[in-house]
């Protein structure tokens, strides 16, 4: 059966970068499930849905057509045919995505899409998010839980935003928001961020990207 590599962890632990590189190296598809929650949130904000009202979010969440392109060489995400890869990384979406992701109807819909992506992957998939190993792919071939100190994670995120040219006030606000988002993601009732009992724990605080990519590639090839 096709390979499924499930990678979970908090923001800035290295999930996206590492998962994409491992997928490219092994010829597997790549799925950034955080981008799907962000795309859903972007659509809610663009359509004036009150994202702090879980019932309104639950009713609206069946409407947007969210499509993930899973080529590791160039992953894409569209909502109703529109490329949203830029705007979903902005501060407005980042501030609200945890609230939207906590709504069970949203998760049910996106989990179904995620399993569909995996079933259509030619050779297998590396899927990253918060609940890949615990909920979406309980029988994954390999499960990894990436962590890093909160300081390392917020420094990495800040460096990334600085490279994108965001102003310092926005960067500071987004770094502060990272801790709040982790707490929200870890304490919600549906699919909280937790390490699955059979997931390999990798602390990336003191590791280079190449070291983390090598470690996970070795786990899959084993």
Position 209 contacts ligand ADP (CB under 6 A): yes
| Chain centroid, CA 139 distance in Å | 19
Strands 29-32 and 124-129: parallel
Size of the site for ligand ADP (CB under 6 A): 16
| Pick from 51, 47, 84, 89: nearest CA to 66 | 84
> What's the min distance (Å) between Cβ of 34 and ligand CDP?
2
Contacts for 173 with CB less than 8 Å, ≥ 6 apart: 91
DSSP H helical segments within 88-149, as ranges? 91-101, 104-120
63-122: contacts with ligand CDP (CB under 6 A): 97-98, 101
Taken in order 107, 110, 116, 117, the sign of the CA dihedral is: negative
Position 156 contacts ligand ADP (CB under 6 A): yes
Position 15 contacts ligand ADP (CB under 6 A): yes
Size of the site for ligand CDP (CB under 6 A): 14
Instruction: Please tell me the distance from the alpha carbon of residue 119 to that of residue 124, in angstroms, as a whole number.
Output: 8
Position 160 contacts ligand ADP (CB under 6 A): yes
Give 117 or 185: the residue with its C-beta nearer to ligand CDP.
Answer: 185
Position 11 contacts ligand ADP (CB under 6 A): yes
- In this chain, which of 7, 21, 38, 40 binds ligand CDP, going by CB under 6 A? 38
Strands 76-79 and 82-83: antiparallel
Could you list the residues that contact ligand ADP (CB under 6 A)? Answer: 9, 11-17, 156-157, 160, 204, 207-209, 212
Could you list the residues that contact ligand CDP (CB under 6 A)? Answer: 11, 33-35, 37-38, 97-98, 101, 129-131, 181, 185
């Amino acid at each position: 059966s096709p390979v499924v590599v499930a990678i979970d962890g908090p923001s800035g632990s290295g999930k996206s970068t590492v998962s994409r590189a491992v997928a490219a190296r092994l010829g597997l598809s790549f799925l950034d499930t955080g981008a799907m929650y962000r795309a859903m949130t972007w659509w809610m904000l663009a359509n004036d849905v009150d994202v702090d009202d879980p019932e309104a979010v639950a009713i609206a969440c069946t409407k947007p057509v969210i499509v993930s392109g899973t080529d590791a060489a160039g992953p894409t995400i569209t909502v109703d045919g529109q490329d949203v890869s830029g705007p979903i990384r902005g501060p407005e979406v980042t501030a609200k995505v945890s609230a939207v992701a906590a709504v069970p109807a949203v998760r049910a819909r996106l989990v179904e899409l995620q399993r569909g992506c995996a079933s259509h992957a030619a050779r297998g998939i590396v899927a990253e998010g918060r609940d890949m190993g615990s909920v979406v792919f309980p029988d994954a071939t390999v499960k990894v839980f990436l962590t890093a100190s909160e300081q390392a994670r917020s420094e990495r995120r800040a460096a990334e935003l600085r490279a994108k040219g965001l102003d310092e006030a926005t960067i500071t606000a987004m770094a502060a928001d990272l801790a709040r988002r982790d707490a929200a993601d870890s304490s919600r009732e549906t699919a909280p961020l937790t390490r699955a009992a059979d997931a390999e724990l990798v602390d990336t605080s003191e590791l280079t990207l190449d070291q983390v990519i090598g470690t996970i590639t070795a786990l899959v090839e084993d």
